[in-house]
Every structure is written in structure tokens, then in C-alpha cells.
Amino acid sequence: MSTDRRGKPKSFGAGFFISGDGLIVTARHVAQAEDNLLAITHDGAKHPITGFLGEDRDYDVAVVKLDGRGFAPLPLADALPKTNEWVALVSPTDQWAALFDRTDAPAPVCVGRIESVLSLPGLWTTLHTTVPAQHGQSGSPLLNERFEVIGVMPFLSDQEQATVSPMTVVQQLVAKARTGAPIAFAKRPRKGGSAPLLLDADFKAGAEAMKRQDWNEVERRMKRAAKSFRESPLPLTCLASTYAKRGAWKETHAACEKALRLSQGSALLQVLDGTSLVMLGRNADGLASVRSGLDLGLPDPAMRRSAWTLLATAEAALGHANRVREALENLRSLDTAEASQVAERIRQINPKLNLSHETNSK
């Protein structure tokens, strides 16, 4: 809760303890709202927020600290939830209603299911639920059936159902923060707007342009989003994909390089960068990058097929028969017909390459 100069309540958000010594998770826009912030615990006690440990602007999540010990933390889930899993969004709405003398506060517990988990590993993950989304829930924990936190409610969009930031974001913030002392809350960094990436006007417009395949508009909007969210690899990845659609491989590689500095663990980025390098004639570097992406694990079978096809074709151009056979075997495990077609094309282009008849006919 924030207060005005006379100590009267001014704005309100939710949060929850993740440690007994006062670490609190809340929505970033709640923590950024005012110079001074108070945490009101279930017993009505008011605690000044004194420390800042970190934030993720993309997901609208922040970790702050108050002084004291003996607080009851919520346990964090070890893994992302499964589709159709029952979940509950818990908010301290009784305090919200009393402080602001409001009768339209959201229900203290809203129940629903996980509708889908949208995940591009190393780039982006969100939890889409059937839980009703209402104003006043920002910073509230999303709990599974074991009462473990699986997500945090971010800035409310115009959606009727809650889209929630995953708990992995908090775990990453805490892991980084544990390496040093908290920053004084009054001296915390205050850069950029309060809206998370998915609600940014340029990013939203760019995403809609991608659906229409309006690549000029995608480029214009994603460039602006990348400037606004300099620590986010997602707008840069969208830019790289746009350049690849156009066959602008130098620009693709440049965008991938920037994004990979922010997210080394993205299989999609590794394969996209590897493809651009192969197209630029840098086969050794490109093939190594594609293999790194496959090792990380591409989530989509179509992406895996494309990656193995690229490896088979590029290794054939280098005369590496054993690696071609390896790539074709992996491609066959995904699509037998496509593997046979790729093998036949390779034979036509390089008839001297020693590929067994068995490779083509399995």
C-alpha cells in the first residue's frame, strides 16, 4: 500500500512472502508506483518496504524486502503446471475493501484451471488460465492444489481471464539477488514504463502485424519495442524472424547476436542464428549453432524437422557423409517421407556422396 503525505491510503496491490526474513514478491508496477510503500500483513501490522532485490519488466514481477523475521512464506513450485490443472488466485481483498471503503473488491479466492502454458524456452513463458481477472489482484499468487506458488498476477489487461507470469521468473530474480545485498528501496532503479512487454503498444501492434505477415510493420514496431525493452530478447527474436522471412540474413544474424547476449538458453535463437550463418557461407559456425539449438531442445516438431533438414543439406555440401546420415536418421524419426525426399535431393546434388541405399528406403 502507498500513502499520501497525510498518511492516507493512496494505492493498493498484493504480494506474498517467499522467505521468513521478509522477502516479498509483488507486481513490478505496484513496487514502482510510489516513493514509499507499506506492507500490511494479515494481522493488520504495517511494515515499511526497505529493500529492493530485483525486477523483471517483461513479466511485471518484482522482489522487495521489509525488515523483520518470523514471516510465513509460501512454498514455490518446482515445475510449470500442467494443462487443466486446478489453480487458485488468492488476494487480500478484505484489507483492500476496508482501507479504501470499497464494495467492489475482487473475491479473495478465484478458482479455475490452467488453460495452456505458452512456452518458448529461454525466451518467454506465460500461464493462461480460466481464473476470472479483476482489478486489485496485481501481485497476487497463483497456487496449485498443493498450495505452492506457480505464478504471479501481473498488470491487468483487458482480458476476462487471468494470464499469469510463471514462478520461474521469481526464482531467477532471487538467485541473482542472493549474490549481493538488497538496494535501499528509495534508491531502486526506476526505468521504463509500468506496463509489461505483452501490453506494450508497439509489441502488441508488431505481434498483430506478424499474424498478417506485414513484415514492414513488424520491423517498425519491434524495433521500437526493442528500444523500450532493452533487456528483453523477445522483440529482437521477432525482428530476427522477420528478417529471415525476407531472406535478409545479415540482419537476421545481427538481431540474433543481440538477443543471444540476453538469452543464451534459447534453442529457437540458436537455430535461427545458425541458419543465418549457413546462408552467409559460415557453415562451420552455423552448423555448430544449429546443433546447440537441437541439444537445448526445440519445442516444436516442425522446427526440429527444419533443423535436421538444414544439417543434412549443409553437411552434404561439405562432403560429410557420416553427419548427413546422422541428420537423416534423426529426420526419419520425425517424418519418414520427408527424410526420403531430402536424401534423394542430396543424391541428385552430390551423387558422389556415399549414402547407403538403406538410408533412402527405410
C-alpha cell at 140: 497476487
Q: Could you give the CA distance from residue 313 to residue 286 in angstroms, rounded to a whole number?
A: 12
Beta-carbon contacts of residue 230 (< 8 Å; ≥ 6 apart): none
Backbone angles phi, psi at 356, to 5 degrees: -70, 155
Confidence of residue 127 (pLDDT cuts 50, 70, 90): very high
2-70 and 86-173, same CATH topology: yes
- Indicate if the pLDDT at residue 265 is higher than 80: yes
- For domain 2-70, give the CATH number: 2.40.10.10
pLDDT in tens, 269-297: 999 999 999 999 999 999 999 999 999 99
Q: What is the mean pLDDT of residues 222-232?
A: 94
CATH C-level class of 197-361: mainly alpha
Q: Which residue from 53, 325, 47 is spatially nearest to 176, judged by alpha carbons?
A: 53
pLDDT in tens, 60-118: 999 999 999 999 999 999 999 999 999 998 887 666 555 555 566 667 888 999 999 98
Q: Could you give the CA distance from residue 218 to residue 216 in angstroms, rounded to a whole number?
A: 5
Q: Could you give the CA distance from residue 157 to residue 196 in angstroms, rounded to a whole number?
A: 10
Q: Where are the domains of the chain?
A: 2-70, 86-173, 197-361
Q: Could you give the CA distance from residue 124 to residue 136 in angstroms, rounded to a whole number?
A: 25
C-alpha cell at 195: 506496463
- Which DSSP category does 92 fall into? -
Q: Could you give the CA distance from residue 33 to residue 90 in angstroms, rounded to a whole number?
A: 22
pLDDT the model gives residue 166 = 94
pLDDT the model gives residue 8 = 65
For the chain, give the mean pLDDT.
87
Q: What is the mean pLDDT of residues 113-142?
A: 88
**36 vs 244, which has greater pLDDT?**
244
Question: CA-CA distances (angstroms) from residue 284 to 14, 201, 289?
Answer: 51, 40, 9
Beta-carbon contacts of residue 6 (< 8 Å; ≥ 6 apart): none
Q: Which residue from 289, 227, 280, 284 is spatially nearest to 260, judged by alpha carbons?
A: 289
CATH C-level class of 86-173: mainly beta
pLDDT the model gives residue 107 = 75
pLDDT the model gives residue 357 = 47
